[in-house]
Structures are given as structure tokens and as C-alpha cells.
């Protein structure tokens, strides 16, 4: 534990500043595209996220906010609770005085090597001590409020950078860090402004073999006002799986019967399984797998929403299936 009893954990601010993000659909988007500040309706705004560490238990919790499997114009908070691929395996090593993370490079390397975090290019990071419970409660509260209006200047809106700033601030860091988080920002927090506010910056180079996304072509007008279109079905994806997407990411969902419950799998567009589990229907409602149905927002690895006969059914995870 930290020598200062106010602090019970750490917040690691994460930034991938080279990541392109689709425009949020604000009044200024057209002007920014004409002036070249945005490229083919994408901003090089970067992606922000954070890792919270409970110093007492050693558990790590990744959080971010984005337009993943959310309605148009909305975003949601992700974590390993909702998206199992975001779980971390490297355990933090805390110094004896409780003030430093001794294996910070190992923690960051694990994050940089996982494509599910949606960061392109180099990873920038820094960390500070916080009250873990206050920061964690803020993150989970925003997760429960999802979907949330997406956009830094929208009423009650949020984006990845503002989310990170709000959660770390809620953790009541040292007053100098709190001051920088609040005042040492441009018009709105950015991935890099969050990192710089916390202190020493660590940089992890791009390690995965992939070509970073670049918006070479302008989006069709209909794509500016909709979620991602259904991609071609990969051979590994079952024929009766259904597509559900947001503006930033989408997945295929497949449901089948499993004893007296249901087995639901989620696949990415490349046919890779993202999560799988056994689910039960909440509130004793009934579902007929032989009749037409569709998946609805906000479906994720821990809860899946299905619409059948104009009735919304909530499928709740009872058991994770590994492998």
C-alpha cells in the first residue's frame, strides 16, 4: 500500500495518438473536412483508455469509451466485464513504499499487443496514485449509464479522452495532477493531454504486424449517418448468426439452445470468436428460437438483448465458456 493513506491504487492513462476516428456528426465536421483538419471525415484524434489498479488486491481493470456495438451517435464504456477480450493477465508489481509500479513496461506491452483495445501506432502512457474505489465507481457508473451521447461538445456527451479525464479526476489524485487534468487541456481533453497531466511518459512502439488504418477514401454520405454496414460473412461464422454494430466496431452474434438455457457466441468480422457463454432469460420471459428475432443494442459478452415479436428479452450470462 502507498505511504499516503489517501491513495489505494493507480490509474494508468493510455493514449494511441495516431489513431483515426470517424467524425462525431457535429455542426463543425463539414468545415473541418474542407479545411483539411479532418481527412475524408476522419479526425486523427487518437484513442484514450485507462487501466485502474487496486493496490490491495493487485487486480487490474481496463476501461475505455467508444462507439462499439452502440446506436448511431452513441458510445458505451467497455471493460473485461462487458468485453472479455479486454482482460489483462500481467500482474502489477508495486514497490515496497507503494508509490511506484515496477513492471510498468510489461503491463503496457501486454496492452499494446492486444488488438481488441483498438489503438493504432505507438502507445503513450503515464500513471499516478489515486483512490481506487472512487475512480472505479465512476467508471462503472458511466458504464451503467451507457449508451451515452458521443462527442466532446455535445450536451451530456462524452468521448474517450473526456471519459479518462473524468475517471482519473474522480480518483482524487495529487492536487497538482488534478489541476493539470482540469486546466492544462485544449478546448477539451485529448489522449496526450491526459498522459502529460500525470507525469513521466512511457512509450511502447508498435509491435503487432498490421497496417494502421488511414482514411484514403471519403465515406459515402449514408455512412456518415449510420453504424458500420454488415460485412461479408466469414466462413467461420455460423449461417444463422446476426450482425450488430456501432460506428466503431460490430460483431456477429449466434444463439443456440443449451440444455434448459442458451449458448451465445460473439464473433468479429474476421470470424474470430470474441466471447462465448451460457445465458438465461431475465424475468422468466420466453424465447422461441424457431421464430424470427434480432439482436439489439447494448449487447455484449455479459448481457445480450434480443427482440422477438416486438418484445425485448434480456439474456444474462450464467457461465463463461473458455476456448
pLDDT in tens, 216-242: 888 888 888 899 999 999 999 999 999
CA torsion, ordered 37, 41, 44, 50, to nearest 10 deg: 130
> Element (H or E) spanning 129, and its range?
strand 123-130
Domain boundaries defined on the chain: 9-204, 242-320
- Cα Rg of the chain, angstroms: 20
Distance separating alpha carbons of residues 184 and 193, to the nearest angstrom? 7
- pLDDT tens across the length of the chain (323 residues): 555 778 999 999 999 999 999 988 887 888 888 888 889 989 999 999 999 999 999 999 999 999 999 999 999 999 999 999 999 999 999 999 999 999 999 999 999 999 999 999 999 999 999 999 999 999 999 999 999 999 888 888 899 999 999 999 999 999 999 999 999 998 899 999 999 999 999 999 988 888 888 898 888 888 888 999 999 999 999 999 999 999 999 999 999 998 889 999 999 999 999 999 999 999 888 999 999 999 999 999 999 999 999 999 999 999 999 87
From the number of C-beta atoms within 10 Å of its C-beta (0-12, 13-18, 19+), residue 6 rates as: exposed
On the CB side of 285, CA atoms within 13 Å amount to 16
> Element (H or E) spanning 198, and its range?
helix 191-198
pTM: 0.94
On the CB side of 177, CA atoms within 13 Å amount to 24
Cα angle 311, 253, 148 (rounded to 5 degrees) comes to 65
SS3 of residue 160 by DSSP: helix
pLDDT in tens, 243-277: 999 999 999 999 999 888 999 999 999 999 999 99
Whole-angstrom distance between the N-terminal and C-terminal Cα of the chain? Answer: 35
Distance separating alpha carbons of residues 145 and 160, to the nearest angstrom? 15
**What cell numbers appear for 66 in the block?**
467508444
Q: Is the dihedral of CA 184, 187, 188, 191 positive or negative?
A: negative
Amino acid at each position: 500500500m502507498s505511504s499516503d493513506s489517501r491513495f489505494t491504487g493507480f490509474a494508468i492513462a493510455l493514449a494511441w495518438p495516431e489513431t483515426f476516428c470517424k467524425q462525431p456528426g457535429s455542426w463543425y465536421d463539414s468545415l473541418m473536412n474542407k479545411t483539411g483538419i479532418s481527412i475524408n471525415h476522419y479526425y486523427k484524434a487518437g484513442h484514450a483508455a485507462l487501466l485502474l489498479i487496486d493496490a490491495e488486491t493487485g487486480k487490474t481493470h481496463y476501461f475505455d469509451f467508444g462507439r462499439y456495438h452502440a446506436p448511431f451517435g452513441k458510445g458505451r464504456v467497455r471493460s473485461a466485464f462487458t468485453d472479455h477480450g479486454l482482460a489483462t493477465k500481467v500482474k502489477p508489481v508495486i514497490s515496497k513504499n507503494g508509490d511506484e509500479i515496477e513492471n510498468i513496461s510489461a503491463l503496457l506491452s501486454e496492452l499494446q499487443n492486444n488488438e481488441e483495445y483498438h489503438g493504432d501506432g505507438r502507445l503513450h502512457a503515464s500513471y499516478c496514485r489515486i483512490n481506487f474505489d472512487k475512480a472505479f465507481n465512476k467508471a462503472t457508473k458511466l458504464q451503467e449509464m451507457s449508451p451515452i451521447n458521443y462527442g466532446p461538445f455535445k450536451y451530456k456527451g462524452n468521448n474517450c479522452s473526456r471519459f479518462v479525464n473524468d475517471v482519473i479526476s474522480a480518483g482524487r489524485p495529487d492536487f497538482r495532477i488534478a489541476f493539470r487534468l482540469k486546466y492544462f487541456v485544449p478546448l477539451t481533453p485529448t489522449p496526450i493531454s491526459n498522459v502529460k497531466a500525470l507525469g513521466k511518459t512511457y512509450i511502447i512502439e508498435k509491435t503487432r504486424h498490421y497496417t494502421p488504418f488511414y482514411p484514403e477514401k471519403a465515406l459515402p454520405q449514408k455512412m456518415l449517418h449510420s453504424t458500420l454496414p454488415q460485412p461479408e460473412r466469414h466462413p467461420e461464422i455460423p449461417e444463422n448468426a446476426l450482425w450488430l454494430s456501432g460506428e466503431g466496431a460490430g460483431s456477429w452474434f449466434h444463439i443456440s439452445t443449451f440444455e434448459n438455457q442458451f449458448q451465445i457466441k460473439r464473433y468479429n468480422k474476421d470470424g474470430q470468436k470474441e466471447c462465448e457463454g451460457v445465458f438465461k432469460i431475465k424475468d422468466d420471459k420466453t424465447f422461441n428460437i424457431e421464430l424470427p428475432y434480432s439482436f439489439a443494442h447494448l449487447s455484449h459478452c455479459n448481457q445480450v438483448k434480443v427482440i422477438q415479436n416486438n418484445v425485448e428479452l434480456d439474456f444474462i450470462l450464467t457461465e463463461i465458456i473458455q476456448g
